[in-house]
Structure 1
């Protein structure tokens, strides 16, 4: 089980590396890591489990955040529809890559957070509003999905981790609260 003690924090050199491509078939340690990363996100969103194990709620995690420099991310984005308890996006992605993206940008109204950052960082983080992502599943089969709005932001944040980029690298250093022209600030969704 992954806990917050396994999550490395900003300043750790692994967070600034470009992660290695994953080869198939997966070895058992990578396969287990992928399962554990997704389970961590599910557990972190369950109030009782999160409290019991001291987990911070997260919607995405990348392997470099647990000190494994491999191109692997897990995302578990809850549905905004209160009628269903199903996740809007719940996936483990091996070697994810953004194949195309919209010109239009979006951002979260309250900025972004990160399991590897223990401090508040104010500022808007511009992201592509829509992306097409190609990735492989645990069997090595390629998939392509289109995402928009919050799920697209989450996946872009995690792919950044695979490239040694932290979310605050994307904040305007001269004016963190300046909104780029024609950016769509998402409604009330929080990171």
Structure 2
């Protein structure tokens, strides 16, 4: 079972390194890793389990956050309409995006960052992601709103980019051009 002690923190080299592509179909080891990552996210969102194991709530987790240099990411979140996005992604890549931007009105956080980072993180309002699922099936997902932001955050991890790298250093709360706020609820 993955716990907070397995998650590497800010300053770890895997968080700023371009992760390696993963061979499809997945090895049993990589498939199990993705299953464990999704289980961690589900556990972290369950108040009882999270309290018992001292887990911080998360909606996404990428292999580099576990110190594993692979393009694997897990996402488990419901959007504001109650639609569940629960994926184990292999080699996820943004293949198209809107010109329009968005940002989380509450700012972004990260399981690998133990401090509160102030500022808006500009993201694309809509994205299309191509990846494979755990069984090696090709996926093509069109996303907007909160799920689009989560997918961009996790894909950034596989590319060695941290969310705070996007924040305007001079004016952290400057609203990004052509952007609309997104709420997590």
- Whether TM exceeds 0.5 here: the answer is yes
RMSD over equivalenced CA pairs, Å: 1.2
Aligned to 1:110: 106
Question: Is structure 2 residue 2 aligned with structure 1 residue 6?
Answer: no
Whether the 8 Å contact between 2:108 and 2:163 is mirrored in structure 1 is yes
Aligned to 2:124: 128
TM-score (norm. length: structure 2): 0.96
Aligned to 2:97: 101
Residue 80 of structure 1 deviates from its aligned partner by 2.3
1:8-87 mapped onto 2 (5 Å cutoff)? 8-81=8-81
Whether the 8 Å contact between 1:110 and 1:122 is mirrored in structure 2 is no
1:135-154 mapped onto 2 (5 Å cutoff)? 135-154=131-150
Take 2:65 and 2:42, find their aligned partners in 1: how far apart are those partners? 17
Could you tell me which runs of 5 or more consecutive residues in structure 1 were left unpaired when the two chains were aligned: none
Take 1:12 and 1:33, find their aligned partners in 2: how far apart are those partners? 20
Aligned to 2:151: 155
Q: Secondary structure at the match of 2:110?
A: coil
Whether the 8 Å contact between 1:73 and 1:94 is mirrored in structure 2 is yes
Aligned to 2:166: 170
Take 1:101 and 1:183, find their aligned partners in 2: how far apart are those partners? 13
Could you tell me which runs of 5 or more consecutive residues in structure 2 were left unpaired when the two chains were aligned: none
TM-score (norm. length: structure 1): 0.94
Residue 25 of structure 1 deviates from its aligned partner by 2.7
Residue 143 of structure 1 deviates from its aligned partner by 1.2
